[in-house]
C-alpha cells in the first residue's frame, strides 16, 4: 500500500513525459509553449508602442503617429539590432497572421449601414465609385512605378480606403509578406501626417466651405483620428462631415476584401488549370467522372474555401451591427480588442521585417504612394463639385 502511495505522489509531483504526451492537454500545452515566447515579445513591443504614443500626445497635444505605426517602427528597430531565432519565430508568425485575422473579423462590429444612409443615397454611391476608381488608378500607378503585384495592391487599398487598417486587412488575403506590409504602412503613415498638416491650407486656396472641406478630408485622409486632426482646425461642420464620409469610405473595406479573396482564388484555380495535363492528372486515361472540360476546380470549391473565414466573420458582424442585434455593451470591448490585436500583429510584422528589403523598395513605394494620394485628392475634389456638396 505504501509503495502504491509513493508512486502516486511521485506522478503527482512530476508527471512522466509519456503521460503528458498521452494526455489530452499534451498537444495544447506544447503548442502554447511554442507560441508563448514570440507572443509575449509582441505584447511587450505593443506595450512600449502605447507608452510612446501616450508620450507623443502629452508632448505635442495630439498623436501624429498612432501606436499601430509605432509598433512597426519599434519592432523593426529590434529586428535590425537582433535577429530572433527559432524560439521566437512561431509566436511572431502566429501574431502576424492569426491575430491579425481575428482583428479584421472584429472590425466588422464597428460598421453600421445606418450611418452610411444618413448622408443620402448619392453620397454613398459617389464614395463607392471614388474607391473603385482610386483602386484601379493607384494599382496602375504602382505597377508603372515598378512595384510587385502584392505591394501594388497594398498601396492601392491603403490609399483608396483607410490606410493602415486596409493594408492590414488585405495583407492576409493576398498573401503579402511582412516586408511589403511594413513598407506600405510606413510610407502611408509618413504621407498621412503630411496630409493632416497640409490639407487645411487648401481651404483658402480652393475656397472650400466647412462641409466641402470635411468631405475632402474624409475622402483623402487615411485614418479616422487623422480626419479629426485635419478637420478640427476648420470647424464643427467640417468635423461632422469628415467623420461621416470617412466612415462611408471605411465601409468599402468589406466588399473590397471579399472581392480580392475571390480574385485570388480564381487566379490560383486558373494557374492550376493552365498546367500541362498528363496521364493520371485529370485528363485522358486518368480522368475521373467529375473532371470533364468546363468542370474545373473552381466549379467544385465551396464558398467557405473561396472566402477566408475571418472575412465571413467580418461581414456577419457588420450585418448584426446594422440590424442592431449586437448589444451596445459589447461594441466598445470588441473595438478595443480589435485595436489591440492589430497593434500586436503590426509589432510582429516589424519583428519579422528586414530593413534592407524595405530600403531597396523605398523610392518606388514612395513615388507610388505620393502619386496615388494626389490622384485621390483630385478625384475627391471632383466628386465634391459633382455632388454639389456645401
**pLDDT at residue number 14:** 47
**pLDDT at residue number 48:** 95
Q: Which of 252, 143, 230, 216 is nearest to 378 (CA)?
A: 216
**pLDDT at residue number 330:** 92
> Is the pLDDT at 12 greater than 50, yes or no?
no
Mean pLDDT of 89-95: 92
Angle at 261 between CA 260 and CA 264, to 5 degrees: 85
Q: How far is CA 226 from CA 134, 179, 361, in A?
A: 20, 24, 26
> Is the pLDDT at 257 greater than 50, yes or no?
yes
Q: What residues form DSSP beta bridges with 218?
A: none
Q: What residues form DSSP beta bridges with 283?
A: 279
> Is the pLDDT at 11 greater than 50, yes or no?
no
For residues 340 and 144, give the distance between their C-alpha atoms in angstroms, rounded to a whole number. Answer: 36
Q: Which of 219, 287, 209 is nearest to 247 (CA)?
A: 219
> Is the pLDDT at 211 greater than 80, yes or no?
yes
Mean pLDDT of 66-83: 85
**pLDDT at residue number 279:** 41
Q: How far is CA 171 from the centre of its chain?
A: 6
Running DSSP on this structure, what letter comes out for residue 97? H
**pLDDT at residue number 287:** 36
Angle at 160 between CA 363 and CA 113, to 5 degrees: 155
> Is the pLDDT at 331 greater than 50, yes or no?
yes
> Is the pLDDT at 201 greater than 80, yes or no?
yes
Work out the pLDDT band at 49, boundaries 50, 70, 90.
Answer: very high
> Is the pLDDT at 22 greater than 60, yes or no?
no
Give the up-direction half-sphere exposure of residue 112: CA atoms within 13 A in the CB hemisphere.
13
**pLDDT at residue number 115:** 60
Mean pLDDT value across the chain: 77
Q: Which of 162, 107, 166, 169 is nearest to 334 (CA)?
A: 107
**pLDDT at residue number 10:** 46
Q: What are phi and psi of 177, to 5 degrees?
A: -80, 165
> Is the pLDDT at 66 greater than 60, yes or no?
yes
For residues 143 and 151, give the distance between their C-alpha atoms in angstroms, rounded to a whole number. Answer: 9
Sign (positive or negative) of CA dihedral 380, 383, 388, 389? negative
Taking each continuous run of H as one helix and of E as one strand, the counts in the chain are 20, 0
24: cell is: 489530452
377: cell is: 485628392
More confident call, 59 vs 315: 59
376: cell is: 485621390
Amino acid at each position: 500500500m505504501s509503495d502504491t502511495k509513493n508512486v502516486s505522489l511521485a506522478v503527482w509531483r512530476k508527471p512522466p513525459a509519456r503521460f503528458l504526451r498521452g494526455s489530452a492537454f499534451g498537444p495544447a500545452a506544447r503548442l502554447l509553449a511554442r507560441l508563448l515566447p514570440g507572443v509575449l515579445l509582441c505584447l511587450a513591443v505593443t506595450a512600449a508602442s502605447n507608452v510612446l504614443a501616450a508620450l507623443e500626445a502629452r508632448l505635442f497635444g495630439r498623436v501624429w503617429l498612432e501606436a499601430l505605426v509605432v509598433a512597426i517602427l519599434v519592432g523593426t528597430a529590434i529586428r535590425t539590432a537582433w535577429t530572433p531565432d527559432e524560439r521566437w519565430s512561431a509566436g511572431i508568425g502566429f501574431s502576424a497572421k492569426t491575430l491579425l485575422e481575428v482583428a479584421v473579423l472584429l472590425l466588422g462590429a464597428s460598421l453600421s449601414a445606418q450611418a452610411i444612409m444618413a448622408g443620402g443615397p448619392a453620397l454613398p454611391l459617389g464614395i463607392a465609385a471614388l474607391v473603385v476608381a482610386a483602386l484601379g488608378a493607384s494599382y496602375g500607378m504602382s505597377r508603372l512605378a515598378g512595384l510587385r503585384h502584392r505591394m501594388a495592391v497594398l498601396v492601392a487599398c491603403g490609399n483608396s480606403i483607410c490606410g493602415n487598417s486596409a493594408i492590414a486587412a488585405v495583407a492576409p488575403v493576398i498573401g503579402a509578406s511582412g516586408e511589403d506590409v511594413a513598407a506600405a504602412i510606413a510610407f502611408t503613415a509618413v504621407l498621412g501626417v503630411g496630409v493632416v498638416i497640409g490639407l487645411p491650407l487648401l481651404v483658402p486656396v480652393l475656397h472650400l466651405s466647412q462641409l466641402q472641406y470635411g468631405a475632402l478630408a474624409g475622402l483623402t485622409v487615411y485614418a479616422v483620428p487623422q480626419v479629426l486632426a485635419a478637420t478640427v482646425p476648420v470647424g464643427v461642420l467640417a468635423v461632422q462631415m469628415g467623420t461621416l464620409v470617412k466612415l462611408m469610405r471605411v465601409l468599402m473595406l468589406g466588399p473590397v476584401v471579399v472581392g480580392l479573396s475571390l480574385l485570388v482564388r480564381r487566379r490560383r484555380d486558373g494557374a492550376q488549370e493552365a498546367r500541362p495535363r498528363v496521364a493520371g492528372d485529370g485528363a485522358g486515361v486518368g480522368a475521373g467522372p467529375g473532371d470533364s472540360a468546363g468542370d474545373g476546380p473552381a466549379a467544385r470549391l465551396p464558398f467557405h474555401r473561396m472566402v477566408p473565414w475571418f472575412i465571413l466573420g467580418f461581414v456577419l458582424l457588420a450585418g448584426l451591427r446594422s440590424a442592431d442585434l449586437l448589444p451596445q455593451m459589447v461594441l466598445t470591448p470588441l473595438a478595443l480588442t480589435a485595436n489591440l490585436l492589430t497593434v500586436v500583429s503590426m509589432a510582429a510584422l516589424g519583428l519579422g521585417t528586414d530593413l534592407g528589403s524595405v530600403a531597396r523598395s523605398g523610392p518606388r513605394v514612395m513615388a507610388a504612394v505620393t502619386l496615388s494620394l494626389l490622384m485621390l485628392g483630385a478625384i475627391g475634389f471632383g466628386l465634391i463639385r459633382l455632388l454639389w456638396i456645401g
